[in-house]
Amino acid sequence: MSTVDSVLSRNANDLAKQLEVERIMKAFKLNPYDILDLPFGASEADVKKQFRKKSLLIHPDKYKHEQGHEVSLRRLLGTIQSIRVPVRNRPQGLAVGTAVGTAVAFDFMKKAEGQLSEPSKRAEIDAIMTHSRTLVLKSILGTGYSIGIADTDPRLANLTPSFDLQIRAKAKEVLIEDELSRRRKQKLTFANEGAEKAKQEAEVIARKRKVEDQAKWEERREDRIKDWRDFSNKKKKVKKNAHVLG
């Protein structure tokens, strides 16, 4: 392999790594199939194989995506220009990326692999994916749909977008609605807990005030007795003087 071919190959690999990092960052984070770029129903072996494959591509220990497409694209275009490739044959339309840590993308991928490898977690996501698949089948086939229809059915071939992409899109809608519903319930729970806490605090304050009032009443007990005695003695004295005058 010539030096130019070697440089082109290395830069192409770097660019592929960068594009994969950005694909993961743009994937819908609530759908592990989307993050791993796997079709719904992929086997456990497929999940592990895909994770290993992508780990080798973007593992933080092997590659650092620090400047998006800028570095490799600049190097690639520079190499192409140096061998005088016509402008019309140069890569076009590649967006320049911003700094994104591969560790973040790898963490998303690792979490997705964990979700699809843990039976209970996978059961939850698969239930949503199955529901989404049914909705897509119904929209494509109408009354003739059946959940038993295989993905290889001729009626599902050559669709635009593809059957798998339509399932992902529908799953995104369902997952977003589920997440919003969860947050609404959580917000309501917090509100109820807040109201209950406020009620309990008010009761505590009321009890405390009652105790304080009772304590103050007891503190003034001697004063009240003294005042009553003074009043009684004064009243007796007035009556005695009245008898003397009479």
Q: Parse the chain into domains and list their residue ranges.
A: 1-117, 200-245
- The DSSP call for residue 51 is H
Q: What percent of the chain has pLDDT over 70?
A: 74
* Distances, alpha carbon 109 to alpha carbons 68, 168, 210, in Å: 18, 17, 59
Burial of residue 30 (number of CB atoms within 10 Å: 0-12, 13-18, 19+): middle
d(CA 73, CA 76): 5
* pTM for the full predicted model: 0.61
With tokens 């009479």, the residue in question is: 246
Peptide bond preceding 161 in cis form (omega within 30 of 0): yes
Q: How far is residue 61's CA from residue 112's CA, in Å, rounded to a whole number? A: 19
CB proximity list for 33: less than 8 A, separation 6 or greater: 39, 40, 42, 112, 116, 125, 129, 168, 171
pLDDT by 10s per residue, the chain, length 246: 666 666 666 677 788 888 999 999 999 999 999 999 999 989 999 999 999 999 998 888 765 544 444 444 444 444 444 444 444 444 443 333 333 578 899 999 999 999 999 999 999 999 999 999 999 999 999 987 888 899 999 999 999 999 999 999 999 999 999 999 999 999 998 888 888 888 888 888 988 888 888 888 877 877 777 777 777 777 666 655 555 555
Which contacts of 211-214 are long-range, i.e. CB under 8 A and separated by 24 or more positions?
A: none
Output the DSSP codes for 186-202. HHHHHHHHHHHHHHHHH
